[in-house]
A and B are shown apart, each in its own frame.
Chain A
Amino acid sequence: MSDWEPKIVSFLCNWCSYGAADLAGVGRMEYPPNIRVIRIPCAGRMSAKFFLAALRQGADGVWVSG
Chain B
Amino acid sequence: MELIKYPRYVDESKCIACNACAEKCPKKVPSEYDTGLAKRKAIYVPYAQAVPLKYCVDPETCIYILKKRCGACVKKCPTGAVDLEQQEETVALNVGSVILTAGFQPFDPSQFDSYGYAKHPNVVTSMEMERILSASGPTGGHLVRPSDDKEPQKIAWFQCVGSRDLNRCDNSYCSSVCCMYAIKEAVVAKEHAGDGLDCAIFYMDMRTHGKDFERFYDNAREKQGVRFISSRVHTIDPVPNSDDLELRYVDENGDIQKEVFDMVVLSIGLETSAQQRALAKKLGIKLSDNHFCQTATFDPVATSRKGIYVSGAFQGPKDIPQSVIDASAAASAAGEILADARGSQTKAKEIVPETDIIGQRPRIGVFVCKCGINIAGVVDVPAVADYAKTLPYVEYATDNLYSCSQDTQDNMVEIIKKEKLNRIVVAACTPKTHEPLFQESMINAGLNKYLFEMANIRNQDSWVHKNNPELATQKAMDLVRMAVSKVALKEALKESELKINQTAMVVGGGVAGMAAAQSLAQQGYETHIIEKSDHLGGQALNIYKTTSGEDVRSKVKDLIKAIDQDKRVHTHLNTTIAAVDGFVGNFKSTLANADGEYSLEHGVVVMATGGSAFEPDEYEYGNDPRIVTSLQLDKMMMAKDPSLASLQSAVFIQCVGSREPQRPYCSRVCCTHSVHNALELKKLNPDMPIYILHRDVRTYGERELLYKEAREAGVIFIRYELDNKPQVAIKNGAITVNVIDHILGRPLELETDLLTLASAVLPNKANDLAQFFKVPINDDGFFVERHAKLGPVEFATDGVFLCGIAHYPKPLDESIAQGKAAASRAVTLLARKTLHTSGEVAETNPMWCSSCGVCVSICPYSAPTFTEEGPFTGKAQINPVLCKGCGLCVASCRSGAIHLKGFDNDQIFAQIFSLDEAVR
Contact = CB atoms under 8 A, between A and B. Distances in A.
Interface of A: 7, 9, 14, 18-19, 21-34, 36-42, 44-47, 49-50, 53-54, 57-60
A59 to B, nearest CB: 4
A60 B424 CA distance: 31
Nearest to B915: A57
10 contacts: A7-B919, A14-B432, A24-B459, A25-B461, A25-B464, A34-B471, A41-B902, A45-B903, A47-B890, A58-B919
Given A30-B464, A58-B920, A45 B482 contact: no
Contacts of B915: 9, 36, 54, 57-59
Contact of A22 (B459, B890, B919): B459
Contacts of A50: 908-909, 912
Interface in B888-907: 888, 890-891, 900, 902-903, 905
B460 interface: yes
A33 B840 contact: no
Given A19-B432, A45-B890, A58-B920, A26 B912 contact: no
A58 to B, nearest CB: 4
Given A9-B919, A38-B482, A44-B888, A30 B48 contact: no
B912 A21 contact: no
A22 B48 contact: no
B464 A39 contact: no
A54 B912 contact: yes
Contacts of B464: 24-25, 28-31, 33
Interface stretch (B472-480, B584-592, B738-746): B472-480
A44 B891 contact: yes
B167 interface: no
**The 6 nearest A-B residue pairs measured at CB:** A45-B887, A25-B459, A44-B888, A25-B463, A42-B886, A22-B459
Interface residues of B, number: 47
Contacts of A39: 431, 456
B919 A30 contact: no
Nearest to B885: A41
Interface in B446-465: 456, 458-461, 463-465
B778 interface: no
A14 B885 CA distance: 11
Contacts of B19: 28
Contacts of B456: 22, 37, 39
A65 to B, nearest CB: 13
A42 B465 CA distance: 26
Given A24-B460, A42-B885, A57-B913, 19 more contacts: A9-B912, A14-B432, A19-B432, A26-B463, A27-B136, A30-B464, A30-B465, A33-B465, A33-B471, A38-B911, A38-B912, A39-B456, A40-B903, A41-B840, A41-B902, A42-B888, A50-B912, A53-B913, A59-B919
A27 B840 CA distance: 31
Which of A25, A57, A60 has the most C-beta atoms of chain B within 10 angstroms of its own C-beta? A25
A53 B17 CA distance: 38
Given A38-B912, A41-B840, A42-B886, A27 B919 contact: no
B460 A41 contact: no
B49 interface: yes
Give the residue among B478, B479, B885, B919 with the most A Cβ atoms within 10 A.
Answer: B919
Nearest to B459: A25
For B479, B482, B903, the residue with the greatest tally of chain A CB atoms inside 10 Å of its CB is B903
Interface string B310-324: 000000000000000
Contact of A27 (B48, B467, B902): B48
Given A23-B49, A54-B915, A57-B919, A33 B475 contact: yes
B147 interface: no
B918 interface: yes
Contacts of A22: 430, 432-433, 456, 459-460
B479 to A, nearest CB: 7
A51 to B, nearest CB: 10
A33 B49 CA distance: 24
Interface in B515-555: none
Given A23-B49, A30-B467, A41-B840, A36 B891 contact: no
Given A29-B464, A44-B888, A54 B48 contact: no
Dominant secondary structure at the A interface: mixed
A54 B19 CA distance: 36
B468 interface: yes
B432 A44 contact: no
A34 B464 CA distance: 12
B913 A44 contact: no
B573 to A, nearest CB: 44
Of B49, B902, B918, chain A has the most CB atoms within 10 Å of the CB of B918
A13 to B, nearest CB: 9
B472 A33 contact: yes
A41 B887 contact: yes
A20 to B, nearest CB: 10
Contacts of B708: none
A60 to B, nearest CB: 8
A36 B466 CA distance: 16
Contacts of B916: 57
Contacts of A37: 456, 460, 479
A45 B903 CA distance: 9
A40 B887 CA distance: 9
Nearest to B887: A45
Contacts of A34: 471
A25 B908 contact: no
A53 B909 contact: yes
A21 B457 CA distance: 12
A41 B467 contact: no
A33 B464 CA distance: 8
Nearest to B840: A41
B458 A49 contact: no
Given A25-B459, A37-B456, A45 B466 contact: no
Contacts of B886: 41-42, 44-45
Query: Which one of B463, B474, B478, B916 has the greatest number of beta carbons of chain A within 10 Å?
Result: B463
Nearest to A8: B919
Contacts of A42: 885-888
Contacts of A47: 890-891, 905
Contacts of B459: 21-26
Nearest to A31: B464
Q: Which of A26, A28, A32, A37 has the most CB of B within 10 A?
A: A26
Contacts of A57: 912-913, 915-916, 919-920
Question: Which among B49, B456, B471, B912 has the highest number of chain A CB atoms within 10 Å?
Answer: B912
Contacts of B912: 9, 38, 50, 53-54, 57
B473 to A, nearest CB: 10
Contacts of B475: 33, 36
Nearest to A5: B471
Interface in B407-453: 430-433
B903 A7 contact: no
A34 B909 CA distance: 20
Interface string B537-577: 00000000000000000000000000000000000000000
Contacts of A26: 48-49, 459, 463
Interface in B615-674: none
